[in-house]
Amino acid sequence: MLSLLCRIMASDSRFFQPRRESLKSRINQPESASALSGRENVTDRFKFSRDKGALKDALLDQKWDALELAGLIFEPNLPEGSSIVLIDDKYQSGVPMQFVASRLYLAGASEVFGLSMVKTLRDTDNQ
């Protein structure tokens, strides 16, 4: 099975940019994670057709809809049977990771594994 990396990205294609070099910053940058793991980075195959806006203040049941409206697509499709490690800087509600995973499955992935660097203590967005 082919293992690939994919980073959840902001709608404007900017990635988290920490101020100092750290393991978190190296893993959180898809190019670095790809170099460290020897796995292909497929993040650049994702495109938003519209700005998704900030999800942190949206109600839980509104987050999926906001991501749907942003028009996230994945092109070209993955090789059939691909395994993906999906990387995000923080796990808050889990909706963005689940949404992107659903798009990876539609693009041909057979397995998607989520990796988050931190889980937030605040849980008010899961209401």
User: pLDDT tens digits, residue range 6-60?
Assistant: 777 654 444 334 444 554 454 455 566 677 777 888 888 888 888 877 777 788 8
Domains and CATH numbers, the chain: 3-126 (3.40.50)
The answer to whether 56 and 95 are in contact (CB under 8 A) is no
What is the chain's mean pLDDT, rounded? 76
Cα 103 to Cα 17: distance, rounded to the nearest angstrom: 25
pLDDT score of 4: 76
pLDDT in tens, 58-108: 888 888 998 899 888 888 888 888 999 888 877 778 888 899 999 999 999
Q: What confidence tier does 111 reach under pLDDT thresholds 50, 70, 90?
A: very high
